[in-house]
Amino acid sequence: MQLGIIGLGRMGANIARRLMKNGHAVIGYDASAEAVKALEGAAGAASLEDMVQKLAPPRAVWVMLPAGKITEDTIARLGGLLSKGDCVIDGGNSFFKDDIRRAHALAQKGIAYLDVGTSGGVWGLERGYCMMIGGETASVDRLDPIFKALAPGAGDIARTPGRETADPRVTQGYMHAGPAGSGHFVKMVHNGIEYGLMQAYAEGFDIMRGRNSDKLPQDERFDIHVADVAEVWRRGSVVASWLLDLTAIALAKSETLEEFSGKVDDSGEGRWTIAAAMDEAVAAPVITAALYARFRSRSENTFGEKLLSAMRKEFGGHIESTIPVHKAKDDDK
């Protein structure tokens, strides 16, 4: 099949490469002419208009851009360039309510819209992409060869008993989640869960590293090699996962992680997941705490923490510790 791809960054370019590797034709466009030139094997487009002209009807265009204004503007422009029967795919991390609105707007012109939550990151070219797709069934079915080529496939993962009559696409690594918005909704929750998993690993390894603190009794101190723990847990442990695999890789490169500041960004999906939980009155304490931990990582001592120290001094005469900040951090680890 033929597919236009807008946004040839790390994921967009690798999606294009995986498709071409599986025999599909790609027409690529990026604001950077260098990115277009670097995508060997693809037909380059100089503009959105040029891309649309080079695609044969019924067209399909995959938008792989950061969520927000750039995606919004690009999809709006495509709505004015594409024709009835064409399809726009948003493979980024857009907010699911934006997908619902866009799908309604494009449907007025006879243009289909699919929201595809795409997981796999920079490893997707090799491993494949897990995809959660929202949109009308006819368009999902028409573009199935694209999704099948991008998906990781069943691999050597054991089949789950009792799923013999279930949708076979799921075991291949992609699913039709439902109508417009549902694909990004499922991916949003996926990323919220990811926040919690990552935070649990981070806290656990921090506890192990801190066991050698001189604040503890001598016979209760352990100099645990956390890189070895990550590696052994990959083999037969109930906490084994791909995130743990990546943790083991990172710790093998640098067990102290001194090159990192520890200031952790969030890309929005964690906030949206918590907002959805609030809408549904569903308790989500782990995901919420994980998001707040990321907020906390970006500051040293907040005004609120200074006020806590001030209150402790007023009610109990407690004096702040004079341990240097860097020493306190070492001990905490």
Hey, which residues are catalytic here? 187, 194
Residue 94 in contact with residue 184, Cβ under 8 Å?
yes
Q: Report the C-alpha gap between 7 and 27 in whole angstroms.
A: 11
What is the number of other CB atoms lying within 10 angstroms of the CB of residue 232? 11
Q: Rounded to whole angstroms, what are the CA distances from 278 to 29, 140, 270, 271?
A: 39, 31, 13, 11
What is the number of other CB atoms lying within 10 angstroms of the CB of residue 249? 12
**Which tokens is 114 given?**
């699919």
DSSP, collapsed to helix, strand or coil, labels residue 113 as strand
212 forms beta bridges with none
DSSP, collapsed to helix, strand or coil, labels residue 117 as strand
